[in-house]
């Protein structure tokens, strides 16, 4: 291999610029597939769906190959009965735009690209790859393990032989290049360990990145939930949570945010009068569903997605419906990133003599949260608190006794008696939560999240993809982006994953809206330079607007 040659997935703006130039050089210059362009650039029609494996020599792209896994393939359009030529397979891809600069064609760039391609195909669980091989290099393709099939395709002076390679061919190619060590199927980006990102950038709402201390506590030797030392840890956790939120009391349950909301619903059912549930997105709808499951009597107040619950509107609604005695709302509507003004809503409810319940699952630990005027509130350990998932948290402003008719696992009264541990609870998540609560400088964390959010919002806006929720009513920890029809949220999310950036996009409601989310709930702030390059790659350069300005 030439000294300094590196094989990796393309992710930087300058790499894509040279890819377009090399594409033009080969397929508009040497092979007459496209009409030459004055600017010497040819952007592939499937650019936004391609993953490019490149060979770089310093700041120069010496060679490239594109992989695409979305049907129909190019050969589907050229061979109508394509499947009749192919062996049985489950997951196929097509190989496109294979090109090496003339000065590198006598070296090992081609074989290096093929090896990188094989490792990438193995990592993505492809078991068949299709290619249209130029006739002048058909012998070399055969030597690499490609199998020709069907008639030749192409027009004019550009003729190609359809060929395929199976998963056995991928494995054999890796063995022959001495890169296969039985680990290829576990490579995160499909390339050798030296060329994949060393660290995954976690922008998920959960699970979140945890500090070394939190991870160490999570993996500590389990202890009995009846032991005196463990009860002391639980007491410390409850005290720290109350200090962070201004709440009077909090109970810990084995579970997550959904279970915490089931607990809230079960205790709202014991209150007199009807209720009002705010629905401003997916998680408001879930509150309404859980309320119906608990047989609550309530009406809903709905908002257009991306807009908050205004205090003036709530005041009017309560005035028109004096039978409403409690309000249940999401603080941060995670689908849209909207953050309601909890202080203003609390004032309205207090003035009207109405109890307020809050879903704080996506806001606790990411923004200052004051629960002093809140009757019941839900949260979890696995999001903004940057600890491990597994604990449901329920805050309450009044003493609660064990109740008949409520299942023991969601009885708030039972979880406030006997030291707060009525049933088995795993010690690992509790110890991890204590570590996260005690090691974090919360004001500093809130400021850091807000600053990172402003920068990221600016990057998205400059790229032509504005955040759904306006900044004046948005959570800094949840940035939801609606993609245009030309981009698939699934493909953008998949590509970011391969580039080492994990975003939220796989939930059914996000896929239906063609939306991705970038969340800043983890313990560590994002590496913004890495993220900028990854976004340019995933969204597709040159569609992005390149500017020299920096955010204020």
Distance CA 225, CA 228 (A): 8
* Closest by Cα among 196, 199, 245 to 377: 245
For tokens 């019941």, what's the residue?
376
User: Residues in the chain, how many?
Assistant: 552
Predicted confidence (pLDDT) per residue in 282-293, tens digit = 999 999 999 999
For tokens 């790859």, what's the residue?
129
Confidence of residue 198 (pLDDT cuts 50, 70, 90): very low
Report CA-CA distances (Å) from 12 to 100, 221, 417, 475, 530.
19, 44, 57, 29, 9
**pTM, two decimal places:** 0.68
Mean of the per-residue pLDDT values of the chain: 86
Predicted confidence (pLDDT) per residue in 404-429, tens digit = 889 999 999 898 876 788 888 999 99
Per CATH, the architecture of 212-439 is what?
3-Layer(aba) Sandwich (3.40)
Q: Does 212-439 match 5-196 at the fold level?
A: no
**Domain boundaries 5-196, CATH class:** alpha beta
Region 242-271 average pLDDT: 95
- Evaluate if residue 91 carries a pLDDT over 50: yes
Per CATH, the architecture of 202-206+442-539 is what?
Alpha-Beta Complex (3.90)
Distance CA 399, CA 380 (A): 21
> Residue 93: which H helix or E strand, with range?
strand 92-100
Confidence of residue 3 (pLDDT cuts 50, 70, 90): very low
The pLDDT value recorded for residue 528 is: 64
> Residue 154: which H helix or E strand, with range?
strand 153-155
Exposure class string for 30-54: b at 16+ Cβ within 10 A, else e:
ebeeeeeeeeebbbbeebbbbbbbb
Bin 131: left if φ > 0, else alpha if -120 < ψ < 50, else beta.
Answer: beta
Report CA-CA distances (Å) from 152 to 30, 261, 502, 527.
19, 62, 41, 48
- Evaluate if residue 181 carries a pLDDT over 90: no
The residues that bridge with 250 in the sheet, in sequence order, are: 395
- Evaluate if residue 552 carries a pLDDT over 50: no
Confidence of residue 219 (pLDDT cuts 50, 70, 90): confident
Q: Where are the domains of the chain?
A: 5-196, 202-206+442-539, 212-439
């Amino acid at each position: 291999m030439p000294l300094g040659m590196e094989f990796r997935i393309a992710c930087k703006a300058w790499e894509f610029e040279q890819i377009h130039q090399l594409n033009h050089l080969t397929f508009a210059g040497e092979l007459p597939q496209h009409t030459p362009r004055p600017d010497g650039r040819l952007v592939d029609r499937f650019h936004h769906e391609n993953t490019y494996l490149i060979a770089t020599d310093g700041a120069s792209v010496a060679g490239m190959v594109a992989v695409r896994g979305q049907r129909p393939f190019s050969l589907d359009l050229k061979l109508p009965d394509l499947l009749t030529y192919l062996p049985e397979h489950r997951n196929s891809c097509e190989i496109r735009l294979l090109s090496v600069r003339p000065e590198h064609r006598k070296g090992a760039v081609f074989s290096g690209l093929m090896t990188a391609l094989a490792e990438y195909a193995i990592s993505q669980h492809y078991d068949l790859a299709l290619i249209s091989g130029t006739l002048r290099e058909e012998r070399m393709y055969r030597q690499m393990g490609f199998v020709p099939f069907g008639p030749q395709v192409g027009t004019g002076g550009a003729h190609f032989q359809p060929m395929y390679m199976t998963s056995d061919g991928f494995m054999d190619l890796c063995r022959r290049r001495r890169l296969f060590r039985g680990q290829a199927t576990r490579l995160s980006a499909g390339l050798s360990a030296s060329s994949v990102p060393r660290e995954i950038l976690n922008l998920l709402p959960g699970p979140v990145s945890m500090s070394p201390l939190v991870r160490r506590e999570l993996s500590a030797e389990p202890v009995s939930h009846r032991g005196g030392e463990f009860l002391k840890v639980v007491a410390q956790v409850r005290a720290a949570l109350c200090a962070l939120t201004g709440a009077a009391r909090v109970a810990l349950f084995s579970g997550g945010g959904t279970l915490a909301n089931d607990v809230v619903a079960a205790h709202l059912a014991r209150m007199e009068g009807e209720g009002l549930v705010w629905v401003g997105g997916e998680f408001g709808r879930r509150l309404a569903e859980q309320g119906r499951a608990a047989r609550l009597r309530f009406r809903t107040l709905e908002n257009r997605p991306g807009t908050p619950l205004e205090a003036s509107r709530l005041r009017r609604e309560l005035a028109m419906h004096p039978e409403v005695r409690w309000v249940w709302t999401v603080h941060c509507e995670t689908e849209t990133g909207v953050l309601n003004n909890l202080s203003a809503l609390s004032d309205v409810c207090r003035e009207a003599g109405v109890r307020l319940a809050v879903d704080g699952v996506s806001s606790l630990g990411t923004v200052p949260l004051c629960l002093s005027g809140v009757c019941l509130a839900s949260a979890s350990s696995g999001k903004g608190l940057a600890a491990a998932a597994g604990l449901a948290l329920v805050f309450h402003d009044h003493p609660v006794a064990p109740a008949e008719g409520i299942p023991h696992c969601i009885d708030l009264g039972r979880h406030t008696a006997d030291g707060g541990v009525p049933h088995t609870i795993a010690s690992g998540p509790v110890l991890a939560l204590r570590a996260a609560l005690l090691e974090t400088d919360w004001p500093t964390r809130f400021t850091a999240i807000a600053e990172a959010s402003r920068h990221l919002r600016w990057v998205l806006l400059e790229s032509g993809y504005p955040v759904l929720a306006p900044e004046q009513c948005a959570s800094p920890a949840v940035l939801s982006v609606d993609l245009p029809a030309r981009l698939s949220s699934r493909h953008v999310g998949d590509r970011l994953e391969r580039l080492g950036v994990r975003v939220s996009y796989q939930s059914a409601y996000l896929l239906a809206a063609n939306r991705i989310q970038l969340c800043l709930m983890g313990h560590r702030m994002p590496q913004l330079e890495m993220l900028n390059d990854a976004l340019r790659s995933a969204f597709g350069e040159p569609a992005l607007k390149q500017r020299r300005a920096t955010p204020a």
